[in-house]
Structure 1
Amino acid sequence: MLASSSKSHASTPDEVVVACEQDFKPYSFLDDYGRPAGFCVEIITAVAGAMDIPIRIVHGTWDSVWNGLVEGRYDVLPIVAKLPSRLPYVDFSLSHTETFDAFIVRSGDPLIKDVRGARGKEILVLRSDAAHHALLERNFEGKIIPVDKASEMVRLLASGKHDAILFPKLLGIMLVNDLGISGLKVGPTIPDHLRDFAFAVKKGDAELLEKLNQGLLIVKSNGEYDRIYEKWLGYADPWLKYKKYFWHIAAILAAAAIVTIISIFMLRRIVKERTAELAEKNQLLSHEIAERMRAEDELIKAQKLESLGVFAGGIAHDFNNLLQAITNSIRA
């Protein structure tokens, strides 16, 4: 596979020319050395590698790369929002990412929560971008200000010109932070402004489209997609950032839960056995106490009878003595 950032459009017969935006960070942009970089650049490179597709990467503004694809000068754009209005001109692969749009405004201005809230305002958009097309298709009741670069939109708004920017929320946050521009804030996501991103190929290029779809499935199944996503977009998606630790933590928690359940079961069993033993001992003790009390009662009764016998014997003796005295007296 061949990858280059050259802007020359000449290519070998088997070479696929991939055209990337140069100002759509973190999806596609030029790094400090002027080379194409970003999530989509790495994804298309991984997909091409999985399918043994030789590619050459060129770059330009969004408007230029889009028109170049439609006119047949390029073979693939790695990131294009799927819109019904674009279907007559290109064919789309399976989706690789999704994002929602939001309005970016100056800090002192109220947030714009939906397109209706932007009526009568001047809205900055990237020329020929999904936001540009969406506003045109909805007959937006305001003024659309198309520009060629995303960074230019941010600088214009920060300088006090126009009212807002319509742009993907995640990209807007990253762009404002990277440019170090203060005094701007990003509003809530617009529910009906979902961008479904995919690869786009020249209309009718079914063979290349099928290869890209297969390659995308391969990189998603072998973990390469997650690695690239985490690298470029992971900070905005904490789940993917910590996903690799999830199963380890889940296994530890599951093991701890099993040990706890077994411990509780064994403890209950021991308590039950001990309780049964105590109940048996209590029963024996109760029986022993009853026997002892019965023996004590018998002893008391015997002692009473013995005392009664002694008393009766004493009375009989005294009576005999008295009787003997009376008898002796009569005889005399």
Structure 2
Amino acid sequence: MSYVGPEFEHPQPRRPRRGPLTVAVAALVPGALLGWLVYEAVGGAGGDGGASQATVRTSATATSSAPADDARNTGSSTPTLASPTSSAPAASGPLKGKVVVIDPGHNPGNFQHTTEINRKVNIGTNSKECDTTGTSTNSGYTEAQFTLDVSHRLEALLEKQGATVKLTHDGNSPAWGPCVDQRAQIGNKAHADAAISIHADGSATGNRGFHVILPGSVHAGAADTRPIVASSADLGAHIAGYFVRVTGSAPSNYVGNGTGIVTRTDLGGLNLSTVPKVFIECGNMRDSKDAALLTSGAWRQKAAQGISEGIVSFLHGS
């Protein structure tokens, strides 16, 4: 996600005071991060973040091409959300009966709908822009393209596990957005067992690695995250651990103090959620080394696999 704009203000690089929740999350993540440190020590990751040598569990490979960037104006001032994209009927599998909502960050059509996405919406604590355009690599590969590609791959992997999967949008439907409050509502109305918003960051060159964003405790206006803070932290810890293990990528070197975990209270998609939900910033699109990973279809498949395994582990309670 681009940190340009009020919805995505860059967190301050200060060391937060560690409360009980932070300690609890930290206790869940080190096992997987220890695997990363061992992997680094033996030279596995190298200069490319380890994407070419990381061990990946056997899985069917989902194919997904990047969407076109020329979504057309539907003439509507509000994106249509009556039918969020749903997967085919769930197959038999260990996740049969489970519902997962995937939220591909931004939308390729946002560039053509700046007036609409700049409209303010209430996120409980205050008002924010409906959405933003997101960031891109220096070569022009957009975050919206990246998030849709990874989301489609993740959808296919979860369907094979038997889950019912819903996407908040599919690039062309709706033609822009949805707004951040509506993205949360889709997961809430689906009574999702887990929800995840897929992003890539737009930080400074040299800032590398992934991080998972957890909802902080918010109780203001329409926002009340208190019932989902603990379960979301559990979901995020599982995803962070498996993301390291499968992709070989390091946790962020610029937020999260090396844990790959960040807690925020300024994101509408988290503040308004009533189901366990996290964001993942898969890497920094503005750094050339991270960008080389994010633009690789093989690495995006690993990213989807790591996220999928984290969600499966969370839903299994393991």
TM range (shorter): under 0.3
Give the TM-score normalised by the residue count of structure 1.
0.22
Give the TM-score normalised by the residue count of structure 2.
0.23
Higher relative contact order, chain-length normalized (CA < 8 Å, sep 6+)? 2
Greater share of residues in strand = 1
